[in-house]
Amino acid sequence: MCKNVVNRGELKDHQEKYCPLHEAYQQVEQMKHDLEQQFEEKNAKLEQEFQERLKQLEQEYQEKDELCKKENSLYLEQEKNKLMQEREEMMKQFEKMKEQLELERNALQEEKMSRYKLENSNKPIHLNVGGKIMTVSLGHFLRNEREPENLFEKMFTGEYPLYETPSTSLWIVS
């Protein structure tokens, strides 16, 4: 810039004729303008490349995402089928166990009922005690209050095997 005083309106003429740096300033302004234009062009080019790359990456992502979803759905379906098979097997086992429990429960109920019938039976039993035949009812014979766990109770209720003979007498050997 010029340090001389310049009248109003004559600055432009003065700068062109007398200022030695005016041309340098114009070159700097031109370079600045050119650099800004190059920057804008490169920025636009980079933005375009970025958008193209972004679209390409999004497309790749979508393809890989769909592939993963397919693989996951297949894996999920396989695991679901395995779980269903295991569930069916467990349900079968449960049903078998339930049937077995029901059979055991019925057998126990039958045993209780037969014991009850046997203990409350008035069927006469003939005992040979020392050569003398004694007749007692089966219920009294089994329910002995003096000996709650007697051998006869165990024999006649099925805890110990009892084999019947054609004879209706019971032989007790001491």
Residues 28 and 107 in one domain: yes
- pLDDT (mean) for 136-154: 68
Structural domain count of the chain: 2
Tally Cβ neighbours within 10 Å of residue 121: 16
Residues 42 and 54 in one domain: yes
* Residue 9 belongs to a domain: no
18-46 pLDDT tens trace: 676 777 778 888 999 999 999 999 999 99
pTM: 0.41
Residues 114 and 136 in one domain: no
* Residue 77 belongs to a domain: yes
> Which stretches within 8-150 are classed as H helix?
11-18, 22-119, 138-142
Handedness of CA 115, 117, 122, 128 (dihedral sign): negative
For 115, the domain range is 19-119
Cβ burial of 156 (10 Å; 0-12, 13-18, 19+) is: buried
**Per-residue confidence at 125, pLDDT binned at 50, 70, 90?**
confident
Kindly tell me if the per-residue pLDDT of 174 is higher than 50.
no
- Which range is least confidently modeled, 25-34, 50-59, 88-97, 120-129? 120-129
Residue pair 139/125 in contact (Cβ under 8 Å)? The answer is no
